[in-house]
C-alpha cells in the first residue's frame, strides 16, 4: 500500500497548478489579444514592475472551480498584487482579457474590492490596467445590487482619492458601460490607440437611440484626448503606455525607509514542511515554527510560563519589528489548569493574548497571527475558569486594535477560535 503524498509533494502540486492559473485564458484568448496589438496581462506586468519576480500576488486562487458552467474563470479574470514601480510599492489591479474578455464576475468584484481596501489601509498607490468587457451579463444580478458589489468599486475610487491615495488608470483595451467610471474617477488617465471608453458601444447606441457612430468617434483614444478631454495621456501602444505610467510614478515623493537591512531567510525556513503535515493532525512546537520565519535570535517570548496554549512574543521579520501570536500545538501543563490540549484556547491563554494585543497596539507594533486552532475549551472546569469572559476580552482586544494585522492559517481554524485570533471578519490586512 503506497503512502500518502508528503507535505512537500503537496506543495509542489500546488505550485504546478498555480502556473496553470497564471496562464489565464486559453490559446485562442492569447492569440486574440495579440491580433489586437495588445499584450497579455503578465507581459504588461513585466514591463511595469521594477522586479517582476518580486511581485506579491494576491488572490490567485479566486474563483477556483466556481464557474465551471461558464468554462471556468482563472484567478477571477484579474491579477492583483503588490510590486515596486519606479521605486514605489504599489497595488496593481490588472484585467486579464484572455479570460472572458476581462469581464467582471462576482468573484472578480470581491477581488478588486479586497485590493482597494489593502491599498487604502497601507497607503499604497493604486494602478489599474484596464482591459475589460464590463460585467458578465448572465450573472449581473449577482454583481450589481448589493453594498459590496460592483458599485462599491466606484465609491472606493472616490474615497481613496479623497484620502490621498494616488490612483492611476491605464486603458489598454475595452472599458465599457458602468466600468467606464473607474478610470475617470482616478487621478490620472492613460489610454492607448485602439482602446475604447464609453458608456454604450456603437451597437447599443444604435439600438437605444437609432444613432450610427463609429467606435473611435464614440469613445476612442483620439476623441477622449482631443474632444472630451477625459484622457490625460494618449499613448501609441502598451509598452509606451506602461513606460509613461512608470515615469508618472517616479514623480511621487520617495517613501522614508528607516528599517535595518532585511535579513535573508536561512536554511531553517526549509524545515516548515517537516514540522506540519497536510491534514493538520501533527503536533508541533509553535516556537520551532516561528524560528523558521523570524530573523535569527530576534524572538522574545511574552509571559512564556503563563497561558501556554498560545505563544506570544516580539520579533523581527526582514528587519521589521512585529508582535506574534501563535497557537501552541503540543500539549502543555498549567499550574492552575493542569494538562492543556494543543490548538485549544483556555482562559489563561486568552487573557494573556488580550493583554499582549493591547500592548502591541499601544506600542504601534504590527501583529502577525499564526492560526492552528480547534476553538475554545469547553466543560465544567473551563466554564468555571471564566472562559466566556476571557474569550470576550480577547475578541474585544482584537476588534479595537488599530495596528496592521496579518493572519496566517497554518493548519485548522475553527469556530470562535478563528474570530478571536483575527479571522477574516476582524479585518486582517
Residue 335: predicted pLDDT: 75
Coil, helix or strand at residue 271: helix
CA-closest candidate to residue 91, choices 100, 79, 102: 79
- Give the whole-angstrom CA distance, residue 203 versus residue 361: 56
User: Do 166 and 304 lie in a common domain?
Assistant: no
Domain total in the chain = 2
288: Cβ contacts below 8 Å, ≥ 6 apart? 271, 275
Residues 276 and 334 in one domain: yes
CA separation (Å) from 162 to 83, 126, 186?
23, 13, 11
**Co-location of 16 and 121 in the same domain:** yes
Q: What distance in Å separates the CA atoms of residue 427 and residue 402, rounded to the nearest whole number?
A: 10
Cβ-contact 285, 328 below 8 angstroms: yes
φ and ψ at 82, to 5 degrees?
A: -110, 130
Q: Yes or no: say if 397 and 352 are a contact pair by the CB < 8 Å rule.
A: no
Q: Which residues of the chain have pLDDT under 50?
A: 1
Same domain (yes/no): 227, 297: no
Measured in residues, the chain has a length of: 429
Residue 359 CB-density burial (10 A; 0-12 exposed, 13-18 middle, 19+ buried): middle
pLDDT at residue 353, as a whole number:
95
Mark whether 242 and 380 lie in a shared domain: no
Tell me which residue range forms the domain holding 96. 7-249
To the nearest 10°, the Cα dihedral for 219, 225, 228, 232?
A: 110
pLDDT for the residue 260: 57
Residue in this structure with the C-alpha cell 464590463, named with its chain if needed: 134
Which helix (DSSP H) or strand (DSSP E) does residue 88 occupy?
strand 88-95
Whether residues 364 and 421 share a domain: the answer is yes
Q: Kindly state whether residues 185 and 63 are assigned to the same domain.
A: yes
Distances (CA, A) of 380 to 79, 334, 395, 420: 50, 17, 22, 21
What pLDDT does 263 receive?
63
48 inside domain: yes
- Longest Cα–Cα distance of the chain, Å, equals 83
For residue 322, give the CATH number of its domain: 3.90.226.10
Q: What percent of the chain has pLDDT over 70?
A: 96
- Provide the whole-model pTM: 0.85
Look over the chain and give the mean of its residue pLDDT values, rounded to a whole number: 91
Last residue of a domain, one of 249, 279, 302: 249
Residue 166 and residue 79 share a domain: yes
In this structure, the strands spanning 338-340 and 332-334 are: antiparallel
Nearest CA among 190, 127, 209 for reference residue 199:
209
Amino acid at each position: 500500500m503506497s503512502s500518502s503524498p508528503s507535505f512537500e509533494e503537496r506543495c509542489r502540486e500546488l505550485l504546478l497548478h498555480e502556473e496553470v492559473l497564471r496562464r489565464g485564458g486559453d490559446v485562442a484568448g492569447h492569440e486574440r489579444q495579440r491580433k489586437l496589438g495588445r499584450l497579455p496581462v503578465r507581459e504588461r506586468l513585466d514591463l511595469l514592475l521594477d522586479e517582476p519576480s518580486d511581485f506579491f500576488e494576491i488572490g490567485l486562487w479566486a474563483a477556483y472551480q466556481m464557474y465551471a458552467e461558464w468554462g471556468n474563470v482563472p484567478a477571477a479574470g484579474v491579477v492583483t498584487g503588490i510590486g515596486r514601480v519606479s521605486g514605489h510599492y504599489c497595488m496593481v489591479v490588472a484585467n486579464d482579457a484572455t479570460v472572458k474578455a476581462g469581464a467582471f464576475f462576482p468573484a472578480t468584484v470581491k477581488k478588486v474590492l479586497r485590493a482597494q481596501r489593502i491599498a487604502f489601509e497601507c497607503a499604497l498607490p493604486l494602478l489599474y490596467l484596464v482591459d475589460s468587457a464590463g460585467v458578465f451579463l448572465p450573472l449581473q444580478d449577482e454583481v450589481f445590487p448589493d453594498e459590496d458589489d460592483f458599485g462599491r468599486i466606484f465609491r472606493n475610487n472616490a474615497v481613496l482619492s479623497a484620502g490621498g491615495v494616488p490612483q492611476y488608470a491605464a486603458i489598454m483595451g475595452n472599458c465599457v458601460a458602468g466600468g467606464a467610471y473607474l478610470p475617470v474617477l482616478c487621478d490620472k488617465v492613460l489610454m492607448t490607440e485602439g482602446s475604447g471608453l464609453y458608456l454604450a458601444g456603437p451597437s447599443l447606441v444604435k439600438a437605444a437611440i437609432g444613432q450610427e457612430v463609429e467606435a473611435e468617434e464614440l469613445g476612442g483614444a483620439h476623441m477622449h484626448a482631443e474632444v472630451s478631454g477625459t484622457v490625460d495621456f494618449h499613448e501609441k501602444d502598451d509598452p509606451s503606455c506602461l513606460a509613461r505610467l512608470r515615469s508618472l510614478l517616479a514623480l511621487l515623493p520617495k517613501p522614508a525607509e528607516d528599517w535595518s537591512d532585511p535579513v535573508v531567510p536561512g536554511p531553517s525556513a526549509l524545515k516548515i514542511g517537516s514540522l506540519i503535515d497536510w491534514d493538520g493532525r501533527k503536533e508541533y512546537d509553535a516556537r520551532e515554527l516561528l524560528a523558521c520565519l523570524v530573523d535569527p535570535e530576534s524572538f522574545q517570548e511574552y509571559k512564556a510560563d503563563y497561558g501556554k496554549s498560545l505563544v506570544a512574543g516580539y520579533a523581527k521579520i526582514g528587519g521589521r519589528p512585529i508582535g506574534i501570536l501563535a497557537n501552541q500545538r503540543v500539549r502543555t501543563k498549567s499550574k492552575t489548569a493542569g494538562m492543556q490540549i494543543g490548538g485549544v484556547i483556555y482562559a489563561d491563554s486568552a487573557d494573556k493574548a488580550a493583554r499582549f494585543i493591547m500592548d502591541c497596539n499601544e506600542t504601534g507594533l504590527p501583529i502577525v497571527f499564526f492560526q492552528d486552532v480547534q476553538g475554545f475549551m469547553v466543560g465544567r472546569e473551563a466554564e468555571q475558569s471564566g472562559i466566556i469572559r476571557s474569550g470576550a476580552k480577547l475578541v474585544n482586544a482584537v476588534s479595537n486594535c488599530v495596528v496592521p494585522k496579518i493572519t496566517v492559517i497554518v493548519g485548522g481554524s475553527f469556530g470562535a477560535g478563528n474570530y478571536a485570533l483575527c479571522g477574516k471578519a476582524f479585518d486582517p490586512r
